[in-house]
Chains A and B, each alone.
Chain A
Amino acid sequence: MSGLTFALAAISALASLLLVWEKSVSGSAVIYAVQAACVAGIALAGARDAGLLVLAIAVVALLAKAIVLPIALRRTVARAGSSIVVDASVHTPAALLVAFALIAVGFLAIGSVSAPAGLALGETLVGLWLVASRRALLSQVVGLMAAENGAALLMVVLAGEQGALVEGLLLLEAVAIPLALLALAALVRRAHGSADTSLLRSLSGNRDEG
């Protein structure tokens, strides 16, 4: 493990904590971009000697994760109205404490195998925590994207030598999932007239239907 890999993984983990702290989705998009650039940067560094195909996939993944997706996210926010602010169901200090604990859990679980892998597992857990603790559709999307960043980092660190396979998986995960979620979020917002997931509670299963 190189010092650069550890440094980028640490910045990436720090970014996941900042995502918990950040209030606006637009700001979250910028933090996500930094986190994604770190992850994609590690993948790119690992792909240098692995052939042209792997390198090409890694470059595309870097562009997609660090540039295209954050822009798409900010555009979606702009289309939804500038007032979209993270609406958390847990207070920020408590949410940050949980996030710190999750990073520690990740590090304790597999940090002895590889420190960046431990941080990556922690990032994944923090991303899922964001999904669970946020109510706005787009901030749930950001949470899931952060979790995917963590999973991607873990794959790069632990299975990076698999080359094209790993890079391909990461590219699919990096692009397809967020785009699908953003499209779905737009449909939900259009149908419900709101980006608040707390309104999505009509499926009780025992109501009278027309």
Chain B
Amino acid sequence: MMSVQRFAVIAVSVCGSLAAVLLGIAAAADFGGIDPVGRIAALGVALAWFGASAAGPAYYARHLGEDTSEQRRIVRLTVLTQVFSVALAVAAVSRNLAVTWVSLETTTIVGAFLVAAGDDRRDALEAAWKFAILCFAGVGFGLVGIGLLAASAKGIPGVVPTNLDSLALVAHRLDPRLLSLALAALLVGFGTKAGLFPLHWWLPDAHSQGPTPVSALMSGGLVATSLAVIVKVLATLQGVALVGAFQHVLIGSGVVGLFVASFSMIDQRDSKRFLAFSTAENVSVMAIAVGVGTPLALAAFAVHLLAHAAIKTSAFLSLGALVACRGSRDTDRLAGAIGRMPGATSVLLVSIAALAAFPPSPLFVSEVLLVFAAFGAHMPWLALAVTGLLTVAFVATAQFAVTACLGADKARSAKGQRLARLYTAVSLAPIALAVGVTLLRPDWVLALVRGVAIATTGRMPW
């Protein structure tokens, strides 16, 4: 007979999956008047939320044995995953900075305990501590930024300083000195949550040490939401002269971050940590796109954000199946898994190929768009730097794929456990959707991408 705890895990996960699907439909169909950047972020959150929720019962099944305290821990973990996801969804769609701040603060509080629940207890706690300290400091800066933004609007009648729509109407009347400080604080605050260089130090640890569904949720959803908030703030102030300086900061952060992440991916033996550095790499690409700031670059940003959320969710979930089976995250020990777990390994292989921007990956589309945008913005050096560094990341990713998915089977004994086939099916869904959308290019997606460019720059991307 099914225990109450097992039933609770399944029930909560099913509810979460349904909520994620509803969020995705609402964002895709433009219900509720969400702005285009919010819709893109909400779609990213929905994909990661669905993956983390639907895969949860199968992933945690091995912990739901006879031990009731362990069962209760998994129930708590499942509930916290849903709280984290709901907070992300609210932050993604909100146009009020105070609401966004509370939501992202909630993700930090809940996220710390989610990361701490990783299988390797001591390392997971270390990662959780780094995540908590850095992100709490970051969101503290975010609060300072909101306060300074409010101060910059002081004396302007009728303005609600935490509401982006209200601020957009008076953007040119805000006190420029306070506004520059506010933007700096907001960039540090939300940039810390997004994992922008050099505020990304928590990211490789937290994304690699947490339970796999949590890693997928953080890499797919948290990063998307935090970046979207930065874009929303910059879009609100479009036309204000000093925003250009912050876009240059984003380009600098992105290029150095891309350099650091790409080279950190080379010969990375911890497979989950490899994916975490890949997230840092993709965050950097998106930061560069926002920094370039042309309509084409913002279109590239939108495609990249959505594609990365889908692909990374699939990559983490499929890798989770292999890690559970092998009982190790070591890349060498995953080798040969294709013979034992062809389904999960194939999903991982496809995900890794997509992360390497191998056509028809949507990341190929976004990266080509970004390079064109950089040339179009008279930044040929940036286009060349991005191309060079993405080549390094491509080589590192190919090396990882060959070692982890196609290498000879070196495992003497399999001490892990196999996950249910449903888990593999769930891990396949996000990437299948991403590649399908890339091939079919439905009108609503093109309209949404165009909408992001128009909302952030006021001009059509093509």
What is the interface of chain A, defined by CB distance below 8 A to chain B? 109-110, 113-114, 117, 121, 124, 127-128, 131, 137, 140, 144, 147-148, 150-152, 154-155, 157-159, 162, 165, 168-169, 172-173, 176-177, 180-181, 183-185, 187-188, 191-192, 197, 200-203, 205-210
List residues of chain A with CB within 8 A of the CB of B128. Answer: 184, 187-188
In this complex, what residue of A is CB-closest to B264? A205
**B143 at the A/B interface (Cβ < 8 Å)?**
yes
Q: How far is the CA of A155 from the CA of B126 in the complex (A)?
A: 31
Please determine whether A192 and B162 come into contact, CB atoms closer than 8 angstroms: no
List residues of chain A with CB within 8 A of the CB of B204. Answer: 203, 205
Known: A148-B140, A159-B151, A188-B125. A181 touches B105 (CB 8 A): no
- 16 A-B pairs with C-beta separation under 8 A: A110-B178, A127-B140, A150-B144, A162-B98, A168-B102, A172-B102, A173-B140, A180-B112, A184-B132, A185-B129, A192-B126, A200-B129, A201-B126, A202-B123, A205-B264, A208-B269
List residues of chain A with CB within 8 A of the CB of B161. Answer: 159, 162
Q: Quick one: CB contact mask for B107-147 with A, threshold 8 Å, 1 for yes?
A: 00100110010001111011111101100110011011011
Please determine whether B137 and A191 come into contact, CB atoms closer than 8 angstroms: no
Please determine whether A191 and B125 come into contact, CB atoms closer than 8 angstroms: yes
List residues of chain B with CB within 8 A of the CB of A144. Answer: 133, 136-137, 140
**B205 at the A/B interface (Cβ < 8 Å)?**
yes
List residues of chain B with CB within 8 A of the CB of A109. Answer: 181
Please determine whether B137 and A155 come into contact, CB atoms closer than 8 angstroms: no
Top 9 closest A-B pairs, CB basis?
A: A159-B150, A158-B151, A155-B147, A200-B126, A158-B147, A151-B143, A180-B109, A154-B147, A151-B140
**B248 at the A/B interface (Cβ < 8 Å)?**
no
One of A137, A148, A151, A205 near B129 (C-beta < 8 A): A137
Please determine whether B140 and A188 come into contact, CB atoms closer than 8 angstroms: no
Known: A180-B109, A205-B273. A165 touches B125 (CB 8 A): no
Chain B contributes a number of interface residues (CB within 8 A of A) equal to 50
Please determine whether B270 and A205 come into contact, CB atoms closer than 8 angstroms: yes
What is the interface of chain B, defined by CB distance below 8 A to chain A? 98, 101-102, 105, 109, 112-113, 116, 120-123, 125-130, 132-133, 136-137, 140-141, 143-144, 146-148, 150-151, 154, 161-162, 175, 178, 181, 204-205, 208-209, 264, 268-270, 273, 327-330
Q: How far is the CB of B136 from chain A (nearest CB, A)?
A: 5
In this complex, what residue of A is CB-closest to B154? A158
Q: How far is the CA of A158 from the CA of B148 in the complex (A)?
A: 7
Q: How far is the CA of A151 from the CA of B140 in the complex (A)?
A: 6
Q: A144-B136, A206-B269, A206-B270 are in contact. List 6 more A-B contacts (CB 8 A).
A: A110-B151, A144-B137, A151-B147, A158-B154, A201-B126, A209-B329
Q: How far is the CA of A168 from the CA of B162 in the complex (A)?
A: 14
In this complex, what residue of B is CB-closest to A165? B98
Q: How far is the CB of B333 from chain A (nearest CB, A)?
A: 8
Q: How far is the CA of A202 from the CA of B125 in the complex (A)?
A: 11
Please determine whether B132 and A159 come into contact, CB atoms closer than 8 angstroms: no
Please determine whether B178 and A113 come into contact, CB atoms closer than 8 angstroms: yes
List residues of chain B with CB within 8 A of the CB of A176. Answer: 105, 109
In this complex, what residue of B is CB-closest to A203? B205
Scoring B116, B143, B151 by chain A CB atoms within 10 A of each residue's CB, the highest score goes to B143
Known: A158-B147, A172-B102, A180-B112. A203 touches B127 (CB 8 A): yes
